Amino acid sequence: MKYVYEAIVEPVGRFLEVRFPDLGIITQGEDLQDAAFRAQDLLENHIVMSLERGETLPVPTFGNECSANGYRMGIVVECDKDTPEDKTMSVNEAADLLDVTPARIRAMIRDGILASRKVGMVHMVDAASVMRRFNEPIHAGRPRKESVTA
């Protein structure tokens, strides 16, 4: 089933905050694309969890109050209570978790260190590969060359 809820997008510091007034949930992103993706992910997860618990979803309202420098956006998701949990995260989420830059995450994807799949124009990073990397002991500097014995 398709669900459409209004999201209010407002700049907060260097981020864009996205809130769903009807549902009382909030997320944020570094730019509009990241914020919209995270909002869609949050909305889908919230709806699936609510349906699994047998809760009734509120009727969506539109035209909610918004600040002068913010705007309204309709977020659409298609899901039901049997929608599987997505075990991926955005490049920015992986970068935050591993304490590296998004460019480094893209390099790790390119080099096969992290698994990913492309969804439209966005790389989604496999959460299990990020957690494996997170739990590996990291050694500073370049890898040692094998010692050559004569």
Q: What is the pLDDT of residues 86-144, one digit of tens each?
A: 678 888 888 988 889 999 999 999 999 998 887 777 778 988 888 888 887 766 666 66
Q: What gap in Å lies between CA 150 and CA 141, rounded to an integer?
A: 27
53 shares its domain with 6: yes
Q: Are residues 11 and 72 part of one domain? A: yes
The whole domain housing 97 covers: 88-135
* pLDDT tens readout for residues 53-97: 899 999 999 999 999 999 999 999 888 776 656 678 888 888 988
pTM of the model: 0.59
Residues 40 and 73 in one domain: yes
- Predicted confidence band at 21 (pLDDT cuts at 50, 70, 90)? very high
- Would you say 98 and 105 are in contact if contact means Cβ atoms under 8 Å apart? yes
Joined tokens for residue 140: 């500073």
> Are 22 and 68 in a shared domain?
yes
If residue 43 lies in a helix (H) or strand (E), which one and from where to where?
helix 32-52
DSSP run (H or E) holding 107: helix 102-110
CA 143, distance to chain mean position in Å, is: 32
